[in-house]
Amino acid sequence: MNNIFYMFNINTSNINHLIYKDKKGNLYQDDQTGFIAYGRRLATTILGFRDYRLQEILKSVEPTTTLGHRNFSYLSEKLAKSCKINSDLFTRILNQQNGKTSAQEQKNIANFQSKLPKNSTIANDAAHFLERCQITSKWLELGLDQQLLDNDYEGAKFLVKTRLIYSIVGFQNSTSAGPKKHALKVDTHNHLMIKKEGRYVVCRELDKKYSFDKERQEVVSKKNPLERWNYFSPKGLVPIDRWEYTTFEPIEELSQTEMKELLEHAKKFKEDSADCDSVIQIFTNPRKTIAGGNTPLLARLDASFPVHAAIRIITSDGKVYSTGFGSTIDEDKRQQRFLATINGLPTMLDYEEFRKHEGRIVTSIPTTKKACRNAIKTLQRYHDESIRFNIATQNCTTLAVDILDITGQKVNNTVKAHDFVRGMLPDAKTMPAIKTPARIISYLHKEVYNELPPNLQKAHDIIKRIFEFAPATIATFIGNLVVLALGGTKGTPLPAGESDGSCTLKRKEAILNNPLDFFSSKPSTISSSLHLIQWQLQQPTTAIHSYRGPAMGILPPQDPDPQLQHFLEEKYLHNYGLANSSHKDDENARSSQEAC
């Protein structure tokens, strides 16, 4: 074996044998052949005496000559090929020739970069090339002009890295005046400009003063990290913190025409809505959660996965308030167990507003100015006093139902844990093997029960309740033991100060607070998004929005997707034996017309 520790002074492209690194970091050429050589390589590799990996070999040397650099590039290209990067793409990386790259190619480049020596020229080239590819892909995915990016890449990078571009495009797509109010502009040097406090400012200047807090998902001042900025309509970038704000403020505004259209749509919710001049919306964003979620075996499990619920309040003058319930970043860090209870609050501009979804469900409820004022006051009070957040028992759907209650709509979204688990299991009536037998048994039981005298029916019901009591009690106790194991007795300290008692949401320190709670169904009662979505899909003023880029979806869509509507109804209603009541009314109306 030849020691080629100084291999970068010879042309490695002429070496046809393997190269390996020993335990001391010396590089050698393995010129052995034959079956025994393969066995020796395997044994010495397993024992750690040799390392044949190209990425480790490249980390052991530092090219200092022209030939050394050429050798390093040659071995790097071999490593790139092992990461499924072809010669053309490798050349583009070396020469920083930007162009279209697929998501898979970007993954391959990231894999290649991770295997290269840190801070090497090629590693830096790969990092810069990958960043440009990712920025370009996100820019074009939003339907933006590539010429704007090419003319001012640094400005475009700032907008993408800070995620401001998603809010800008989202507000462009949310109202008829959005494209004009939130247009991207350029100065005389073709540098990108966006709105900041009502005036257009060059993005490169903003990049010097502000950075992005990834944890909080907010723009922060470099001089003062506690000064946080967000992009709202119509002023653009403003010094308002989505969490630690002083006053709950609107984040968008509708024109008179748009407000009129929205009210006409919302008033279909109920007949006695003539005096309503405002609207409250509840929206949810279901997503695919598990593979095979459309099959009868997994359909209910897929539908049971938690979905975030958010709230919009649209006042009579067209002002749009957006909020959702969640915990703060600091409280999240202190949460050590899954079911621990922490402090939470309503945010401003819900984090789901401009995110991707697979069908946004928006329910509009007509209401009055007074109800809107009460809702805003309630949210402000919840924010100022802080309310307790628990992922299972008091979450975003709890707040949504609480605000619905102000409009007079009572929605029960709570379910006992053992019933929730049972609801995840496939419906026997949808399983081909037991569908018919289950229907026959159900039919026979019903027929026999109906034939019984009233006294025997009462006796049957009493015996049934007696036999159900013990299993239900045991199930409750076991459910609370699970709550205990998942941190149900844990909680961060309650916020300073006392509540004035007007909050309807609980301020308990934890789910389980004393031994008697183990025999109560309340600690293991879940606030479920499933029941809220089922209620939404049964309302006549629920609109389904397809994702076509970031947008709030305040007004009902002009061209709704019937296939998406059918998919969501099948997933959340039909799989549970429920029907869309609004569709049923339409069918009844058609049947009446046909009868006439």
pLDDT in tens, 562-582: 999 999 999 999 888 887 766
pLDDT tens digit sequence for 3-21: 333 344 444 444 445 677 7
Compute the chain's Rg from CA coordinates.
Answer: 31
Is the model's pLDDT at 594 over the cut of 50?
no
Element (H, E) at 479: helix 454-485
Q: Are 324 and 309 in contact (CB under 8 A)?
A: yes
pLDDT tens digit sequence for 143-166: 999 999 999 999 999 999 999 999
pLDDT tens digit sequence for 250-280: 999 999 999 999 999 999 999 888 899 999 9
Report the distance separating Cα 259 and Cα 153, nearest Å: 38
3 state SS of 426: coil
Place of tokens 């922490």: 342
Report the distance separating Cα 22 and Cα 49, nearest Å: 6
Smallest Cα–Cα separation from 97: which of 62, 58, 132, 70?
132
pLDDT for the residue numbered 516: 73
Q: For the chain, what is the mean pLDDT?
A: 84
Q: In what order do the strands lie in the sheet with 325-327?
A: 325-327, 342-346, 387-389
Q: What is the pTM of this model?
A: 0.81
Least confident of 143-147, 169-173, 466-470: 466-470
Band (pLDDT 50/70/90 cuts) for residue 204 is: very high
Q: Are 490 and 511 in contact (CB under 8 A)?
A: no
| Percent of the chain whose predicted confidence (pLDDT) is above 90 | 48
Is the model's pLDDT at 181 over the cut of 70?
yes
pLDDT tens digit sequence for 70-115: 667 777 888 888 899 998 999 999 888 877 789 999 999 999 998 8
* pLDDT mean over 475-504: 70
* pLDDT mean over 318-341: 84
| Percent of the chain whose predicted confidence (pLDDT) is above 70 | 83
Q: Are 572 and 534 in contact (CB under 8 A)?
A: yes
